[in-house]
A and B are shown apart, each in its own frame.
Chain A
């Protein structure tokens, strides 16, 4: 079955770049997503990428996909204290008609001034 793994914690200084990593196991056609969860709130979709792409950029966010290693990363440029949150990687694939999302355990990003 599908499995998505992330490191638990990342700490950076304000103004630095943050890189959050994720690995996934499914090898069929796959969408990969990044969600952000602020304290006490629901999840907010940041961006997603299809498995035939290598990179996607959206303002301060860059998603890189290494299909060979099944490795996904989210880079946040010029990280701000407001970026402190939990970041979830998730995937949906053709096996389930893209209907179900499988989430990683989340990476807690702490940005210090």
Chain B
């Protein structure tokens, strides 16, 4: 049981390049999330998917797109990377919120640098 896995672990991009961050979970969770973590700012929600087939914007969605490929996989795409997108990106999953505690399990993160 690997939990939440993310690829790649590290990535360096040039301004304007595109890339996709991959996330997969093997816990049969319904909900999945993408966050970014910047120094002094905690974690901020980029996009989330409450269930397979749905996606919604979070606090900081500009410059990103997401795809819920199936129940297991949720990818984050940067179409034209900017230096402001240099950050650590975390994927998380949970059974479902639905009026109860939203116990989220996190992946190890992807450290992205945009030059």
- Which A residues are closer than 8 A to B by beta carbons? 4, 8, 31, 33, 40-45, 48, 50, 88, 92, 94, 97-101, 103-106
Q: Tell which of B40, B45, B109 touches A42, judged by Cβ atoms closer than 8 Å.
A: B109
Apart from A43-B90, A92-B102, what 16 extra A-B contacts exist at CB < 8 Å?
A4-B42, A31-B100, A41-B108, A42-B4, A42-B109, A43-B92, A43-B104, A48-B101, A50-B101, A88-B42, A97-B98, A97-B99, A99-B31, A100-B45, A101-B45, A103-B44
Q: Tell which of A94, A100, A104 touches B58, judged by Cβ atoms closer than 8 Å.
A: A100
Q: Is the Cβ of B102 less than 8 Å from the Cβ of A98?
A: yes
CB neighbors of A among B75-115 (8 A): 90, 92, 97-109
Instruction: Report the minimum CB–CB distance from B115 to chain A (whole Å).
Output: 22
Q: Is the Cβ of B45 less than 8 Å from the Cβ of A105?
A: no
- Which B residues are closer than 8 A to A by beta carbons? 4, 31, 33, 40-45, 48, 50, 58, 90, 92, 97-109
Sampled A-B contacts (21; CB under 8 Å): A4-B42, A31-B100, A31-B101, A33-B101, A41-B109, A42-B107, A42-B109, A43-B104, A45-B103, A50-B101, A88-B42, A92-B97, A97-B97, A98-B97, A98-B102, A100-B48, A100-B58, A101-B45, A103-B42, A103-B44, A105-B41
Given the contacts A97-B98, A105-B42, A45 and B31 also touching, CB distance less than 8 Å:
no
Given the contacts A41-B108, A43-B43, A106-B42, A98 and B100 also touching, CB distance less than 8 Å:
yes
| Cβ-closest chain A residue relative to B50 | A99
Complex Cα distance A92/B45, Å?
12
Instruction: Report the minimum CB–CB distance from B86 to chain A (whole Å).
Output: 17
Instruction: Report the minimum CB–CB distance from B97 to chain A (whole Å).
Output: 4
A contact residues around B42 at 8 Å (CB): 4, 88, 103-106
Complex Cα distance A45/B3, Å?
13
Q: Is the Cβ of B105 less than 8 Å from the Cβ of A45?
A: yes
**Which 8 A-B pairs give the minimum distances between C-beta atoms?**
A42-B106, A98-B97, A103-B42, A99-B97, A105-B42, A103-B43, A43-B106, A31-B101
